[in-house]
Amino acid sequence: MVVTTRVLSYRQAINEALRLEMRRDPTVILMGEDVAGGATIKHIEQEGAWGGPLGVTKSLVSEFGRQRVLDTPISEAAFIGAAVGAAVTGLRPVAELMFVDFFGVCMDQIFNQGAKLRYMFGGKAKVPMVIRTMIGAGFGAAGQHSGCHYSVFAHMPGLKAVAPATPYDAKGLLIAAIRDDDPVMFFEHKMLYDMTGEVPEGDYVVPIGKADVKREGSDVTIVAISRMVHIALEAAKRLSGEGIEAEVVDLRSLSPLDEDAVLSSLAKTRRLVVVDEDNPRCSVAADIAALAVDKGFDYLDAPVKLVTAPHTPVPFSPSLERYYIPTPERVVAAVREIV
């Protein structure tokens, strides 16, 4: 079969995944603040206004109408809880939590309701919903609009969590997330929206729970998440100039975790650096390190190194924010310590 690919942005890839799944399955609905925008305003009732604050859901309302692309009041607890209720009773809602930092407002509906219902009901219910949410620093958006926080969700039984780093993975993982019968947190890095890459037409699935080797190498394994995959690749390029070949493993899924992919790379390189933009304490990065010492101890020839954000909120000033976000330089330095 010939698959046509074209170059799309990460933003367009997400939009396309939503469009294809909404065409395929009439139970898929979208809701969130200004996901269409301009509700009830005559001159834009049809095409919508914003399509999300950064235009990711733009024009979906023109094709699917306001019955299926729902602007919500600023009431996250109510509409994310409504997504849970709709999922339990037969829809496949995709709810947008505009910035992940806003989870504080609606966490009960995610954590005590969405994540636990199936278990507490003895397996008699399923909650096939997706929460799309923006993560990441680099925009100067400061303390309440810049966190990653996926570690919080990866920690919670009942939730799945994915964080694509490329347009290809974004589309395939979002389609997988919508078709999945469990609640899935879908983390979109705001600094990746304009990034472009080859994306096949038509639908395809990137399986949840499968990591991807984005660069092969034999001297050190760099495991990275979301935007940090690109930081790791840049570091790998520089290291290559010094004769060090790094293997870059893009985790893609944070829960479930592709333990085999991490361990088999480690078996090959015997050294591990983890690059994670989230805060370090009780984090996915720490979890990967634990995996390495627990199940990969015999492979390890050196200590595991973590390159993460500091244990601080995200600062506003560019000089402070640059310090906060892991850089290729820091990754290179961490690799040099153990190779």
Partner 1 sequence: MEIPREKLRWIYERMVLIRAFEDRVAQEFAAGKLPGFVHLYAGEEAIAVGVCAHLTDRDYITSTHRGHGHCIAKGVDVKAMMAELFGKATGVCKGKGGSMHIADVDKGMLGANGIVGGGPPIACGAGLMAKTLGTDQVAVCFLGDGAAEQGTTHEAMNLAAIWKLPVVFVCENNLYAESTPWTYHCAAPDIASRAAAYDMPGVLVDGTDVFAVYEAAGEAIARARRGEGPTLLECRAFRYYGHFQGDAVSYRTPEEEAAYRQRDPIQRFRETVLSQGLLSEDELDAIDAAVQHEISEAVRFAESSPLPPPEDCLTDVYVSYPVEQLAFRH
Ligand X SMILES: Cc1ncc(C[n+]2csc(CCOP(=O)(O)OP(=O)(O)O)c2C)c(N)n1
Q: Which residues are catalytic?
A: 145
Cα separation, 24 vs 19, in Å, equals 9
Residue 330 in the binding site for partner 1 (CB under 8 A): yes
Which residue lies nearer to ligand X by CB, 105 or 333? Answer: 105
Question: What Cα–Cα distance (Å) separates residue 38 from each residue in 18, 24, 97, 171, 193?
Answer: 20, 26, 18, 27, 23
Eight-class DSSP state of 186? E
Eight-class DSSP state of 144? T
Q: Which residue has 């929460």 as its token pair?
A: 131
Partner in contact with 141, chosen from ligand X, partner 1, none, beta carbon below 5 to 8 Å by kind: partner 1
Output the smallest distance, CB 173 to partner 1, in A: 27
Residues 28-67 contacting partner 1, CB under 8 A:
33-34, 37-41, 43-44, 49-50, 53
Output the smallest distance, CB 312 to ligand X, in A: 21
**Candidate segments 57-65, 119-127, 175-183, 310-318, binder of partner 1 by CB under 8 A:** 310-318
Binding mask 7-46 for ligand X (x = CB under 6 A): --------------------------x-------------
CA nearest neighbour of 166 among 176, 156, 174, 154: 174
Residue 148's contacts (CB-CB under 8 Å, 6 or more residues apart) are 100, 135, 136, 137, 187, 226, 276, 277, 278, 279, 309
Residue 315 in the binding site for partner 1 (CB under 8 A): yes
Residue from 5, 293, 317, 329 that binds partner 1 (CB under 8 A)? 317
Residue from 29, 60, 91, 98 that binds ligand X (CB under 6 A)? 98
Which residue lies nearer to ligand X by CB, 39 or 205? Answer: 39
Give the gyration radius of the chain's Cα atoms: 20
Spell 183-211 as b/e; 16+ CB within 10 A means b. bbbbbbbbbbbebebebeeeeeebebbeb
Residue 101 in the binding site for partner 1 (CB under 8 A): yes
Residue 102 in the binding site for partner 1 (CB under 8 A): yes
Residue 312 in the binding site for partner 1 (CB under 8 A): yes
Cα separation, 76 vs 90, in Å, equals 21
| CB-closest chain residue to ligand X | 102
Total residues at the site for partner 1 (CB under 8 A)?
Answer: 56
Residue 78 in the binding site for ligand X (CB under 6 A): no
- Report the amino acid identity of residue 37: G
Q: What is the DSSP string of 109-123?
A: IIIIIITTHHHHTTT
Residue from 105, 107, 142, 300 that binds ligand X (CB under 6 A)? 105
Which residue lies nearer to ligand X by CB, 77 or 302? Answer: 77
Residue 141 in the binding site for partner 1 (CB under 8 A): yes
Based on the number of CB atoms within 10 Å of its own CB, is 333 exposed (0-12), middle (13-18) or buried (19 or more)?
middle
- The site for partner 1 (CB under 8 A) is made up of 33-34, 37-41, 43-44, 49-50, 53, 71-78, 101-102, 104-105, 139-145, 273, 280, 305-313, 315-324, 330, 333-334, 337
